[in-house]
Each structure stands twice: as C-alpha cells, then as structure tokens.
Amino acid sequence: MKPINIGLLGIGTVGGGTYTVLKRNQEEIARRAGREIKVKMIADKDLDRARSFADHDVIVTDNAHEVTTHPDIDIVVELIGGQTIAKNLILEAIAHGKHVVTANKALLANHGTEIFAVARTKGVMVAFEAAVAGGIPIIKALREGLTANRITWIAGIINGTSNFILSEMRDKGLSFEQVLAEAQKLGYAEADPTYDIEGIDAAHKITLMSAIAFGIPVQFSKVYTEGITKLTGEDIRYAEELGYRIKLLGITKRVEKGIELRVHPTLIPVRRLIANVEGVMNAIVVKGDAVGATLYYGAGAGAEPTASSVIADLVDVTRMQTAEPMHRVPTLSFQPDLLSDTPVIPMEDVETSYYLRMQVIDKPGVMAEITRIVAENNISISALIQKEPSSDSDRVSIIMLTHLTVEKNINAAIARIESLPVVTSKVIRIRIEELNN
C-alpha cells in the first residue's frame, strides 16, 4: 500500500522529536498502522534547522501554505503553536480535505468548537492527544478506554513547570521567585512563564478533558483559574504538618447543578499517589462509576514524549481515514449532535473544603470572634491550629481547615474576618480536595 503523506508545520522541539521517532521506529509503526507514515514536507521559518532533519526526498519550505494546500499531503501536523496563524493554517488544511494532528491546546481550548465543526463538514479528523499532558495517552483513555463509564471527576497535575516549582519550594525551602529563576535557568520555564505559573496552560488542558469526559462543548471562557504565584513556603509547610501537599490541580467534576471546571492550588492528602508526583512529571486521576479511580502518570512535555502522542494520532488517523466519518471515534468522544448543554457552574457555587491562614493580634476573644463569623456563615471547622508567637511579637498565625462548604460562604466569611481590626493580614485561602469519592 502506498505511504500516507505527512506535512509537518514547525520543526521545533516537538516537530524534531516527531521526525526522529517516526524515522527511528518506522518499520514498527508501519506494521501497526498498516502502511508507511512518511513525512513528505516540512515547513519552518528556520530552513537550516528544517534541512538538518529532512532526508533527501523531503520537501522543505518556509511557506506553510504550500503544505496545507499541497495535493499529495494527507495529514497536516500543526506544531507551530499560537492562535492566529495556526488557526488559519488548520482551517486551510481542512478546507483542502486534509486531516489535522495538533498539539495546540490554547487554540483548541479557545476555538475547538469551530474547528471541529468545520472538520466535520469536510469529513476529516482533528486529533490532539499531544495537546494534553504530553506523552500520557489521556485523550485516548477518556475517549475510548473509559467509554463504558459515567465519568464522575478528573483531577490532574497537568503543568510540569508549576509542579517543578512547588516540589522545589517544598524540598529546598526556597521561595517561589527563587525556584522560578532556577526553572528558567534549567529551561523548564519559558522566559515568559505566565501561562504555566498562572494556571492558564492547565486551564486549556482541563477544558479539553472536561469536554471529552462529559460530552459538553469546549468552553475555556468558563474555567476558574488561579495560579501558584502567591503561594508561600509557610503554607506549604503548614499543609505538610496537617498531612497535606499543595499541588496545582486542574479539576472537573460532575455535580448536581452542572459541571465544575477549575484550576487552582489544592491541598491533597499526602497519602494519595498523585500527591507524590514530583518535579516536571504530570499525573491525572479519572474517576469513573464502573472502573473507580484510575491514575495516568508520565512526562507532560519534552520532544520524544510529546512526539509519542503526535505519532499515536498519526497512526489512528491512518487506520481510520478509510472509515465512514460516522464510524470513526468522535472527536469529543460523544457523537457531535448529542453533546449536552449541562452548564459549567460559577465558582461561587462550587462546594469544597478550605485551608485558611491569617495573622491576628494575640489577645483574649480573638479566636472566639473568628470562629463565630465562620459559624454564622454555616461553615464547620475540621481543624484549628494557633502557632506560638515569636518572642518579640504580639502577632500569631491561625490555621483553620473547614469541612465542605460553598465558595460563596467562604468568601463572605473571609470578607468579614479581614475587616476585624485584630486581623492584621489578608486571609490566605487554599482549597482542599480529598480525592476519595
């Protein structure tokens, strides 16, 4: 059978890894796919870099449109990132009847609904395993392996940079700023690490997983997003004393009122496996009603791990392209005309439990006043610690853990506590997830 022809847009880290692994494992991949998967064209602004990878029979160009419109190309692999140019190129490829494989989470989280609809009308596939958690085959697991289940919730460490920072802060007792500088030196964090440390990258990924898990449209604008920039070593230490570890989690959950969709630092019991995922590694727990809790762990970035996912998509598309569109695995797992309009619920209606830390003046009645406010907002305390004051200070830290409550109650309580003259700091609030049911 003749090879299936690939056009690579971008031969940076992931593109280079994809070319290398396709070549190295060519024979085995062909035996799996049923035919050879052959890179026929590479487009990159850096022609020298592209030529350094390309074999003699590969066409190299700095004009990506040549690839997206070339009659011999069957699958376009978009690895240039960004939203404007990448979107135009993907739509152009689709218009020319090409299947698309992409690692572009930001693009799909924001414009997935439109792109998937256009692809459907043209009868082509858009595959994006590499967009979520690098080398971990989580899209495949959600879309196919767990298809018998009603998914209850997903909680994932899905940004390696921020997990590295949190691990180092805990292990070495360093501040956020110190570890970020180290991560940039090591090349984990970008020069502009905003997307990683502000939780935006994780928000893109949880948006895509939520759509696949619950059969809802991709809705990045509805994710509640809070990053790790305000976390202090103190909170990491106190959390450990209480038996918890702080992780930046992407969480999506099916609850009575709708779907929760959120990214924020979270206290997790130290005894959970996912609490022990350290450094740049990623891990995702998926709870299904039939299977129970399942854990997926691996490299969330890097040339060859991400290439592993890109190539898995290439094999899938190769195997499925001759099938009638209605017999293929649906992009979002559910048939496109059967997506549900279950709402993503506002953050203030989310129910969870909380870690609160505040600094107060150490005098009679302060604790009573704070606990009264908490009780009046219908919040039940599960643990309470007051730290010894240092010898030269009349201030003490109070750390409180709550039972489940709704976010709007905790917001109201925090506002009242902060207005007390005896409370001398902002109230630090970190959400807790037990991840046990």
> Under the rule (CB under 6 A), what is the footprint of ligand HSE?
159-161, 196, 201, 300-301
C-alpha 228/C-alpha 266 separation (Å) is 10
Q: Is 205 a catalytic residue?
A: yes
Which of 115, 117, 155 is closest to 274 using CA atoms?
Answer: 155
DSSP E strands, 289-339: 292-299
Are residues 249 and 268 in contact, defined by beta-carbon separation less than 8 angstroms? Answer: yes
Point out the catalytic residue in the list 87, 98, 105, 205: 205
Shortest reach from residue 133's CB to ligand HSE, in Å: 8
Which of 3, 5, 2, 24 is closest to 307 using CA atoms?
Answer: 24
Are residues 131 and 212 in contact, defined by beta-carbon separation less than 8 angstroms? Answer: no
Identify which of residues 7 and 156 has a Cβ nearer to ligand HSE in the complex: 156
Buried b / exposed e over 360-393, threshold 16 CB at 10 Å, is: bebeeebbeebeebbeebebeeeeeeeeeeeeee
Shortest reach from residue 300's CB to ligand HSE, in Å: 5
**Sign, CA torsion 136/201/154/77:** negative
Shortest reach from residue 46's CB to ligand HSE, in Å: 20
Phi, psi of 341, rounded to the nearest 5 degrees: -100, 25
Q: Which tokens go with 56?
A: 């003699």
First to last CA, the chain: 50
C-alpha 325/C-alpha 121 separation (Å) is 10
Shortest reach from residue 310's CB to ligand HSE, in Å: 13
Shortest reach from residue 197's CB to ligand HSE, in Å: 9
Identify which of residues 161 and 309 has a Cβ nearer to ligand HSE in the complex: 161
Residues marked as catalytic:
205
